[in-house]
Chain A
Amino acid sequence: MRRRDFLKWQLSGTLWLAAGAALPGVLEAASPHPDVAVATGGPGAAARTCVEMLGGMGRFVPRGARVVIKPNMSFASEASYGANTHPEVVAALARMCREAGAASVLVFDNPLAPAEQCLERSGIRAACKEFGDIVQAPAGDRFFQEADIPQAQQMKANAFLREALAADVLIAAPTAKSHGSTGVSLGLKGMMGLIRNRGVMHSRHDLDAAIVDLNTRLRAALTVVDGTYVLSTGGPFGPGKVLRENTVIASADPVAADAAAVESFEWYGRRFEARQVNHIRLAAERGLGRMDVANLDVRRVTL
């Protein structure tokens, strides 16, 4: 970290302390960790640095915890295509979870393309080989469980991956990409890979509201957005313009992580504010997290 960044961070922290005494978020703001960590560098190292800036994986993963990591591996393409999470980011997260003493670490997605090809060509299965057969894309009924979404406005229930419901810790590890329906597809949108009936979110409900509903049930304790290759246009599947950003963004706040990712990269050749993405705005409005990136403690490092 550069000195200037450190001073900025200190300054913003002091300001928060001074101004925030009456705000509900004060404890969060006063914590020694930034709200959002941004690291530029190789995917694996950047992911590790981000998590360490946030206090290390031990802050999120207690010893003996069962962890589910949700990357994007829904397409049979390599990371540089921009549609899937970089395998090194997923492997770094799995390794940190193991180091923190997780009892079990599983990596799940519910792919659109044939599952075998996705696990293979995304490179994620190979990258996680050392941890065992942890990368899975289960499809059978017995792996899913109907569950209610008590805080839903629209989608009151769905079939969830049993393991995702049973997990102690859920980590969202999306790639940063555009999306033809929802503007971007990041951590919040990515939770759709842990349920079976995605179709109803498109057909029966308002997609943006249903994404927020889903995130009231599946709450990521940590979101790590992989911006190594950003699919800036043509998402969620590509082909599209891929920006080589070499950036990883992480936060304990799923809305803040997505919001910071929206504002960190160019989409369709221009800059957007997080509020311009419907589902992120709705998520913030419904109290899932904060999207006012300018007011957040965002710490950046370059490796």
Chain B
Amino acid sequence: MAAQRPRRAVQIACLTLFVLLAWGGAEALTGGPGRDLFVRLDPAAALAVLLADRSLTARIAPGLALLASALVLGRAFCGWACPFGAMLDLSDGLFRKRRTTRTPPRGVKYGVLAAMLTAALAGVNLVFWAAPLPLAGRFWSLAAWPPAARLADAALALLGPMARRLDATGLAFAEVRVPDYDAVWFIVLFFALFLGLGLLSPRLWCRMLCPAGAALGLAGRAAPWRREVCAMCTGCGLCARLCPAGAIPAASPRATDHAECLKCLRCRDVCPERAVSFPLARGRPKAAPSLLRRALLLGIGAGAGAALLGHAGPALGRPHGVLRPPGALPEPDFLARCVRCGLCAAACPTNTLQPAWLAAGSLGLFSPVVTPSRGFCDPACHACAPACPTAAIRPLAGERTFAKIGTAEVVRKTCLAWEKRKKCLVCDEVCPYDAVNLKPEPGNPVAVPHVDEKRCAGCGFCEKHCPVQDKAIVVRPTDAVRLRAGSVREAAGARGLRLEFKSKKPGERPGPAYEDTPGAGGLPPGFSE
């Protein structure tokens, strides 16, 4: 088993790296971004984004580069590096005893790829259903991280009292923020299903469904690094029985389906005659039996149909749309690029970014939505943009505070000041854009909040901190500034917005914008005669 141990080690290392990156390891260690590095390698996601968005950005280059590497190495990535593949190998190990060995219809994955790319060409990005790295990203960041964080915080809670006694105050009050995400049960179910497919045959996902595997397989059909069998082969068929990819026909173990081969080298390692080798071969291999045409045609048909449905039926979502993170491209472009890896939500420090269920429409499944009732969207923060593997969320450099994501609205019938006539100024107090103003209202003993739409950036401090259960001030996606390119600051200015974020940084002097004695003869707020 010469190659199996190092291969296992590489797989575990890649999975660990993937998980640590998704959990913010790069940020913690270097302070820089890097959460998305591994996810960007997905060739299916890169291709779909390329076609759906009709754009080539540096962000998707790693996926395309990996695809190019298949020209030489075939599906080696699948066998050695793919974190999803590693997870499947691990779970397949558990199922070994119960398995019914059936050969799955491996052409299906080409159909899946064709369907995704056809839909992408029609402008509908469905790749999030099946691209393996975004899928794994979504699982690890949204489903696996919260319980892991809870565990870590529980450990800190156990250590806390002792740390406090030892005067290690920093440790005693250390906390691991435990985020909470919507639609997690569905993500878990989705994943359990894919892992459970291992009951039928090993690596069933990779052999039958994975569009990235299909793309790499197609590119690597004639890869020079490939299996060769010499004359010493006795045709015992051991390799065919043990091949996890079903790439060796049981009837003729000397043949190889190179588009299926994961280059795991198991056949070489188990061959009693040492007849199998993986040299860098020259020339084209003998053409593999083609299962392609029908699968491709079916896939194209399915993709076109799905795109048609997608274009016809987006009305499932909220009619006025959803709040997107700052810097999000205009909605159709955003959906064309977003691969739903969940990394932006995982990077969000206030937990305001949540995977959508159906709020964003059927095409917006799992896409990130700002949810101010859970957390504000801090104007001094843009952690989501560098976490995005496809630049669906644009980095905005110095203009972040001008990226208006929506507008707050006062819901008068639940507002303490408007309805209950109780003094409350929380929304005004917390607004960092000075967009909420308390004004006297005839017949009301207390001042009531008004939102200045031109100053409001939709950050949601007000909604988050509003003390009533049924929020009396809510942010809606009205007038969001979302651009494909160009300066959001200028765009905001051109629309007459006066977005002035009070960054309150050290050294900044208070602005001149204060009111002296208000009202002739009246008392300032909070004082009585």
Asked if A240 and B426 sit within 8 Å, CB to CB, the answer is: no
Asked if B526 and A202 sit within 8 Å, CB to CB, the answer is: no
B interface residues, tally (CB under 8 Å): 49
Min distance, Cβ A280 to any Cβ of chain B, angstroms: 11
A16 to B201, CA, bound (A): 94
Asked if B467 and A202 sit within 8 Å, CB to CB, the answer is: yes
Any chain A CB within 8 A of the CB of B233? Answer: no
List the A side residues contacting B349 at CB < 8 Å: 114
Give residues 85-135 of A contacting B (CB, 8 Å).
104, 106, 112-114, 117, 121, 123, 132-134
A interface residues, tally (CB under 8 Å): 53
Given known contacts A178-B524, A277-B526, A142 and B160 CB-to-CB distance under 8 angstroms:
yes
Asked if B502 and A138 sit within 8 Å, CB to CB, the answer is: no
Asked if B509 and A80 sit within 8 Å, CB to CB, the answer is: yes
List the A side residues contacting B513 at CB < 8 Å: 239
Given known contacts A121-B505, A140-B153, A182-B526, A133 and B467 CB-to-CB distance under 8 angstroms:
no
List the B side residues contacting A174 at CB < 8 Å: none
A290 to B167, CA, bound (A): 38
Asked if B467 and A200 sit within 8 Å, CB to CB, the answer is: yes
List the A side residues contacting B424 at CB < 8 Å: 181, 202-203
Asked if B526 and A179 sit within 8 Å, CB to CB, the answer is: yes
Min distance, Cβ B244 to any Cβ of chain A, angstroms: 45
Asked if B175 and A139 sit within 8 Å, CB to CB, the answer is: yes
Give residues 184-236 of A contacting B (CB, 8 Å).
184, 199-200, 202-203, 207, 233-234, 236
Given known contacts A142-B157, A181-B423, A199-B467, A238 and B524 CB-to-CB distance under 8 angstroms:
no
Closest to A143 in B: B173
Closest to A198 in B: B467
Q: What is the predominant secondary structure among interface residues of chain B facing chain A? A: loop
Asked if B515 and A236 sit within 8 Å, CB to CB, the answer is: no
Encode B422-449 as 1/0 by CB contact (under 8 A) with A: 1111101110100000100000000000
Min distance, Cβ A186 to any Cβ of chain B, angstroms: 12
Given known contacts A181-B424, A233-B515, A239-B514, A78 and B527 CB-to-CB distance under 8 angstroms:
no
Given known contacts A104-B167, A199-B426, A184 and B526 CB-to-CB distance under 8 angstroms:
yes
Closest to A135 in B: B169
Closest to B171 in A: A133
Given known contacts A112-B465, A269-B516, A203 and B438 CB-to-CB distance under 8 angstroms:
no
- A78-B508, A80-B510 given; name 6 further pairs at CB < 8 Å: A78-B505, A140-B153, A140-B175, A143-B173, A181-B526, A202-B422
A residues within 8 Å of B by Cβ? 75-78, 80-82, 104, 106, 112-114, 117, 121, 123, 132-134, 136, 138-140, 142-143, 178-184, 199-200, 202-203, 207, 233-234, 236-242, 267-270, 272, 276-278
- Report 24 cross-chain contacts, Cβ distance below 8 Å, ordered by A residue: A80-B509, A81-B504, A112-B430, A113-B504, A133-B169, A140-B175, A178-B526, A180-B425, A180-B429, A180-B526, A199-B467, A202-B424, A202-B426, A203-B422, A203-B424, A207-B423, A233-B514, A239-B513, A241-B514, A267-B524, A267-B527, A270-B517, A276-B528, A277-B526
